[in-house]
Amino acid sequence: MSTAVPVAELLALPFLQRALLAGLLTGALGGVLGSFAVLRQLSFFSDALGHSALLGLSLGIVLGLDPTLVLIPFAVLFALGVHRLVRSSRLPADALLNIVYSSSLALAVLTLSRARGLQGGIERLLFGDILGVTSHDLQLILGLLVLAGSYLLLTRRSQILLTIDEPLAVSRGVDADRHRLAFVVLLAVVVAVSIKAVGVLLISAFVVIPACAARLACGRFGAYVALAAALGAGGAVLGLLLSAVFDLPSGPSVVLVQALGFLLVLALEAGRNALAG
Amino acid sequence: MVEMVLAVSDLSVRREGVTVVDDVSFELAPETDTALVGPNGAGKSSLLQALIGILPRRSGEVRVLGARLGPRGQLPAAIRQQVAYLPQTLALGGRFPVSVAEFVGLGWDPPGPSLPWTGGRARRSAVAAALAKTGCADLADRALSELSTGQLKRVLLSFCVVRPRRLLLLDEAQAGLDPLAAEQFHQLLYQLHRSEGWTILQVSHDLDMVRRTSDRVLCLNRSLRCSGSPDHALSAAELERVYGRDWVPYRHHHAPGPPA
């Protein structure tokens, strides 16, 4: 490991400022979407999407396009395709997702093996790169945050009902099909824009870990979502800072910080239960 | 002529290519309590779900309070608010972090997008009144996941009374309750049926309870086999037509009329 760089010096760097801001926003967004996704059994969906996104990225590289421009349409198509596949097939969703993501991953690796001069680049795609966040990406993330935030805020009652019990939600007049599709597309786009900083291998932790930690600690909806957002954003910022200071890959740093947060909540809850019982 | 709360004509429902409800027609008069009985797999839940658009119907027509149920299960919002459906149990009730008061509040709001700050005070007082009516006032701040089955059923009834409703569809409300809790639940339902002026259609396996409290019985085994007063529809001959020859009338003892 190389020597640590003073934090103040690092914070003056524009690329790190961008990365931290992007981490803060996508971390919060991942936490909020995750708080629904985890309970709707979409954890594996975000995992499969992350792995499949490597295909989108490698196609972008071969065609010489901006990865973000390729990733978002890829993620939307992936979400629509998988949604349709799962609905129309009698096979279990996790098995179908496994087929889709292994074949995408295989195709991606073959594509990359043909693209010359990318050997150093693959690691960045797999584990994330904080140098990769452009100001253009930042604008995109901000727009997405506003869009996702207002959608979830305006339809939160429908979202809660849908997550608790779908027939009950439909009986109250919630259009379950449309909301489910919209949510999956939104989740896919958020995963796609977060991939640059975290990498394709670990992106699903971004959605899953903060929400699970918050679920352990909270019995009320408002507190649950707020804590998931805070853990997501806090984990991302702290992880990216550590990665910059100690020159570590950014994705694993973020995920480890979030996992430590999860363990902390787990320990606190165990302690609280021991005291109460 | 009295306007029917629910009018079903020639309703058929298919599930995964199999006809589970075949050409069913019936009507529910205001403030009646009708039981839907039949063997397992007879299509009782499917019928109930098709009435409110949870399952698509293949053919036939459903009118709720005079409004036609659309092909994709659409109902005008004002009509939808007057109908409540109670599932057997909540698919994810135990795992979603929501308090009892928050959950009951979800039954108050009309569907569709809403701003977070709308309806705060009106919702709060409606929730408090609903919890009081169902004896759940002490549960308001508890997490939905901490409730016993009996408590959860009462909270589901609060979800129904949080707004004035006219039609209540219950899918085996007593499932999972021990005999005492089932009896208590039924007493509460009977009392609310009277005081709220509900029209009830409930799937039930407890023929004994049906005999005592229902005004009318519909016997379903894919198609409607018989309907009428409990005394007629639950006679030995009629039951054999619905359940088959091997049916044994377990727990059969006659109690005097419905509780006052």
CB interface of A with B, residues 88-147, below 8 Å? none
Tell me the C-alpha to C-alpha distance, in Å, between residue B7 and each of A221, B69, B169.
39, 10, 14
- If one counts every other C-beta atom within 10 angstroms of the C-beta of residue A26, the result is 29
Judged by a CB distance cut-off of 8 A, whether residue B146 touches chain A is yes
Hey, is A152 helix, strand or coil? helix
Nearest to B170 by CA among B214, B227, B234: B214
* Residue B3 DSSP symbol: P
CA-based R_g, chain A, Å: 19
Out of B77, B92, B116, the one facing A173 most closely (by C-beta) is B77
Helix axes A176-198, A43-63, angle to 10 degrees: 60
**Nearest residue in B to A167, CA atom:** B54
B105: Cα within 13 Å, side-chain hemisphere: 22
Distance (Å) from the alpha carbon of B119 to chain A's nearest alpha carbon: 13
* A98-109 tens-digit pLDDT: 999 899 989 988
What is the pLDDT at residue B245? 66
Q: What are phi and psi of A40, to 5 degrees?
A: -95, 15
Per residue in B111-158, pLDDT tens? Answer: 777 777 777 888 899 999 999 988 889 999 998 888 888 888 889 999
CB B51 within 8 A of CB B25: no
CATH number at residue B4: 3.40.50.300
Mean pLDDT for A41-55 is: 87
Pull the structure tokens for residue A266: 């787990």
Phi, psi of B170 (to 5 degrees): -115, 125
Burial B193-229 (b: 16+ CB within 10 A, else e): beeeebbbbbbbebbbbbbbbbebbbbbbbebbbbee
User: Using one digit for the tens of pLDDT, what is the confidence trace for A117-144?
Assistant: 655 567 777 888 777 788 888 898 899 8
Which range has the worst mean pLDDT, A162-176, B92-106, B145-159, B193-207?
B92-106
For B88-111, write each residue's pLDDT tens digit. 888 765 678 899 999 999 999 887
Residue B220 lies in a domain: yes
Q: Is residue B46 in some structural domain?
A: yes
Q: Which residue has the higher pLDDT, A153 or B256?
A: A153
Element containing residue B80 per DSSP (H, E): helix B77-80
As a whole number of angstroms, the distance between CA A126 and CA A199 comes to 5
Number of domains in chain B: 1
Determine, yes or no, domain membership for B24.
Answer: yes
Which of the residue ranges B188-192, B231-235, B252-256 would you say has the lowest mean pLDDT? B252-256
Tokens of B176: 């999972």
Looking at beta carbons, which residues of chain B come within 8 Å of A165? 87, 90-93
User: Which of the residue ranges A216-220, A253-257, B231-235 has the most confident prediction, judged by mean pLDDT?
Assistant: A253-257
Range of B238's domain?
1-82+199-260
- ipTM of this model? 0.86
CATH topology of domain A7-270: ABC transporter involved in vitamin B12 uptake, BtuC (1.10.3470)
Residue B150 lies in a domain: no
Looking at residue A66, its pLDDT comes to 79
**What is the DSSP secondary-structure string of B162-183?**
TS--SEEEEESTTTT--HHHHH
Candidates A57, A31, A88, A60; CA nearest to A206 is: A31
Note the Cα B94 to chain centre separation in Å.
21
Pick from B84, B90, B111: CB nearest A164: B90
In the three-class reduction of DSSP (H, G, I as helix; E, B as strand; rest coil), residue A248 is classed as coil
pLDDT tens track for B12-56: 999 888 899 999 999 999 999 999 998 888 889 999 999 999 999
List Cβ neighbours of B121 (8 Å cut-off, separation of 6 or more): none
